[in-house]
């Protein structure tokens, strides 16, 4: 079984083939051509290629390259197909890649690897089940929390944005995501704080402000409550 995190330098060409697992190719340097289901594109640092288990693919490497490969990502159900093979990465995701590549010698079962891969659910456009058409308003509310988590939100405002009542929004959120909007927002903020802690040396006050938490003391308290360790201990655990 292949490691979940690999760093590979592609050379020449390869026969078209399938994997029994999902795969994400993220160039760290250089460039290469990838063809997925007859769609071909040259990708380089700042871009990614998502390959579903059912998609035939191959590569053409005419230049030196080094790529981070993510196999069988826990957040991506292998039965869900991606409809966007080639994507652009945010600057924050790009900053996170060198840290991910430093984990290739870690045990796949290590806490550090587990935490690092879980964060990718918020950093990469992971293919997911589509919410039923009847609940598109829920999708709108979730998108607001995912992309504007640092802003101040209350349940009434969020429900109004989605054209739902607060009680309807809470019931739908619980049904689809197994948590309340408030709990989801908090987890989203803490996940983002993990990214800042793992990839920068910014102060806790700075990180708390960036993720929408009132101050560093609150960030420490919430971190300990949810992860049983302080932000400083988490940051130390991510340093190779």
Domain annotation covers residue 186: yes
**163 plus 63 within the same structural domain:** no
Q: Which of 103-112, 171-180, 210-219 has the lowest mean pLDDT?
A: 103-112
Domain annotation covers residue 61: yes
Q: H-helix or E-strand containing 39?
A: strand 39-44
pLDDT above 70 coverage of the chain, percent = 96
Domain annotation covers residue 13: yes
In the chain, the number of structural domains is 2
pLDDT digits (tens, 9 = 90+) for 63-76: 899 999 999 988 88
Domain annotation covers residue 183: yes
pLDDT at residue number 131: 58
**49 plus 151 within the same structural domain:** no
The tokens describing 232, both together, are 């400083």
Domain annotation covers residue 200: yes
pLDDT band at 87 (very low <50, low <70, confident <90, very high): very high
Gyration radius of the chain over CA positions: 19
Taking alpha carbons only, the member of 216, 222, 137, 163 closest to residue 188 is 222
**235 plus 136 within the same structural domain:** yes
- Cα dihedral value 203, 205, 210, 212, nearest 10: 150
**135 plus 240 within the same structural domain:** yes
pLDDT at residue number 130: 63
Taking alpha carbons only, the member of 87, 66, 76, 164 closest to residue 117 is 76
Domain annotation covers residue 122: no
CATH assignment at residue 95: 2.60.120.10
Average pLDDT over residues 177-206: 92
Taking alpha carbons only, the member of 156, 160, 161, 223 closest to residue 186 is 223
pLDDT at residue number 104: 87
**83 plus 138 within the same structural domain:** no
**10 plus 96 within the same structural domain:** yes
pLDDT digits (tens, 9 = 90+) for 3-47: 899 999 999 998 888 998 999 999 999 999 999 988 899 999 999
Average pLDDT of the residues of the chain: 88
**101 plus 163 within the same structural domain:** no
pTM exceeds 0.75:
no
pLDDT at residue number 134: 47
**28 plus 87 within the same structural domain:** yes
pLDDT at residue number 161: 84
pLDDT digits (tens, 9 = 90+) for 127-153: 876 655 447 788 888 888 988 899 988
3-state secondary structure 87-130: EECCHHHHHHHHHHHCCCCCCCCCHHHHHHHHHHHHHCCCCCCC
Domain annotation covers residue 113: no
Half-sphere exposure of 180 (CA within 13 A, CB side): 8
Q: Which of 20-24, 37-41, 182-186, 229-233 has the lowest mean pLDDT?
A: 37-41
Domain annotation covers residue 114: no
pLDDT digits (tens, 9 = 90+) for 44-63: 999 999 999 989 999 999 88
The boundaries of the domain holding residue 174 are 130-240
CATH assignment at residue 157: 1.10.10.60
**140 plus 58 within the same structural domain:** no
**144 plus 93 within the same structural domain:** no
3-state helix, strand, coil in the chain (%, to 5): 45, 20, 35
The tokens describing 171, both together, are 């019931």
């Amino acid at each position: 079984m292949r490691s979940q995190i690999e760093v590979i330098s592609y050379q020449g060409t390869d026969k078209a083939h399938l994997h029994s697992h999902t795969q994400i190719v993220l160039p760290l340097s250089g460039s290469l051509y990838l063809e997925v289901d007859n769609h071909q594109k040259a990708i380089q640092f700042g871009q990614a290629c998502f390959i579903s288990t059912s998609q035939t693919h191959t590569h053409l490497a005419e230049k030196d390259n080094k790529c981070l490969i993510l196999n069988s990502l826990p957040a991506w159900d292998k039965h869900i197909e991606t409809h966007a093979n080639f994507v652009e990465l945010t600057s924050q995701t790009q900053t996170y890649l060198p840290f991910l590549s430093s984990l290739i010698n870690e045990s796949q079962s290590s806490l550090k690897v587990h935490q690092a891969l879980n964060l990718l659910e918020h950093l990469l456009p992971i293919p997911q089940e589509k919410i039923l058409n009847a609940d598109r308003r829920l999708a709108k509310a979730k998108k607001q929390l995912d992309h504007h988590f640092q802003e101040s939100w209350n349940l009434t405002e969020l429900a109004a944005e989605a054209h739902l009542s607060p009680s309807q929004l809470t019931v739908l959120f619980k049904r689809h995501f197994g948590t309340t909007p408030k709990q989801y927002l908090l987890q989203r903020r803490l996940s983002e704080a993990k990214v800042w802690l793992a990839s920068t040396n910014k102060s806790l006050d700075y990180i708390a402000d960036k993720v929408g938490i009132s101050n560093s003391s609150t960030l420490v308290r919430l971190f300990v409550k949810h992860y049983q360790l302080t932000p400083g201990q988490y940051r130390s655990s991510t340093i190779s």
